[in-house]
């Protein structure tokens, strides 16, 4: 199964959300049309969708079931800091996106790949776990909480990667955000993912390294292809 990959560099959140939505809608239309061609959706039976890689300017996003009280400052204060805010249609609560964070948006047809939604989310987590392991970081999962964590069963669990997905007809959008060298101070304005008793971390914070973003992108795509058993075409 084939998947294309687009490296968007840095892009405004709303522009990227609109791009995701257009790709998502095209795959939905293709599925509804059956064997009939749909412009923009790709007619290759081995085509399972597109993965977008991006960094965003500072922005906070709140999932559809999130709680506004987990934003600890006013919208006006956010604007004064140069940050945007969006209430969006993914699962999960509130999180931050910004420079130094790799955001990965897979817009995929899970039926073509041959997996269900739970297995897909676990695959995203596994890809991140293997990626950070390349930097000497041991990560894992926390029962009942999505994402990838450092010291998940210890005294100081801290999240290095948040995951929030939307799915309809087994077509996905949104995805995960891996903190590479993110300024973690931005997370002090929220209860990240709704938690008040767990921290946030990054590859840089855990290791003292500043891995190049392109290097991390290449690792994520290589490992994600193996986990999903897909051929991901990329020019990274």
| pLDDT on residue 34 | 80
pLDDT tens track for 155-171? 888 999 999 999 999 99
CA-to-CA distance for 136 and 154, rounded, in angstroms?
A: 18
CA-to-CA distance for 37 and 103, rounded, in angstroms?
A: 30
Domain boundaries, the chain: 2-233
Q: Are 53 and 8 in contact (CB under 8 A)?
A: yes
What is the model's pTM? 0.92
Mean per-residue pLDDT over the chain, rounded: 91
| pLDDT on residue 41 | 53
- Of residues 84 and 42, more confidently modeled: 84
| pLDDT on residue 43 | 56
pLDDT tens track for 171-223? 999 999 999 999 999 999 988 777 766 789 999 999 999 999 999 999 999 99
CA-to-CA distance for 129 and 48, rounded, in angstroms?
A: 23
Q: Is the pLDDT of residue 122 over 60?
A: yes
The CATH class given to the 2-233 domain equals alpha beta
pLDDT tens track for 19-37? 999 999 999 999 888 854 4
Give catalytic status of residue 16 as yes or no: no
pLDDT tens track for 130-157? 999 999 999 999 888 889 999 988 888 8
Q: Which of 16, 104, 161, 193 is catalytic?
A: 193
Count Cβ atoms below 10 Å from residue 176 Cβ, excluding itself. Answer: 24
């Amino acid at each position: 199964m084939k998947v294309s990959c687009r490296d968007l560099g840095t892009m405004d959140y709303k522009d990227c959300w609109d791009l995701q939505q257009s790709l998502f809608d095209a795959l939905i239309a293709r599925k509804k049309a059956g064997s009939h061609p749909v412009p923009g959706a790709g007619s290759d039976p081995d085509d399972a969708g597109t993965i977008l890689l991006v960094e965003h300017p500072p922005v906070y996003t709140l999932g559809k079931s999130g709680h506004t009280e987990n934003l600890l400052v006013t919208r006006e204060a956010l604007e004064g800091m140069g940050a945007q805010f969006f209430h969006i249609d993914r699962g999960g609560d509130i999180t931050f996106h910004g420079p130094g964070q790799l955001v990965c948006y897979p817009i995929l047809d899970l039926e073509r790949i041959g997996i269900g939604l739970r297995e897909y989310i676990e695959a995203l987590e596994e890809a991140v776990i293997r990626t950070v392991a390349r930097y000497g970081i041991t990560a894992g999962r926390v029962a009942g909480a999505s994402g990838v964590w450092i010291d998940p069963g210890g005294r100081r669990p801290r999240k290095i990667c948040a995951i929030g997905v939307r799915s309809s007809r087994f077509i996905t959008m949104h995805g995960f955000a891996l903190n590479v060298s993110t300024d973690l101070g931005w997370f002090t304005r929220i209860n990240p993912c709704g938690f008040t008793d767990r921290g946030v971390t990054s590859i840089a914070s855990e290791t003292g390294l500043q891995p190049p973003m392109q290097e991390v992108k290449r690792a994520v795509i290589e490992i994600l292809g193996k986990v999903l058993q897909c051929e991901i075409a990329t020019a990274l």
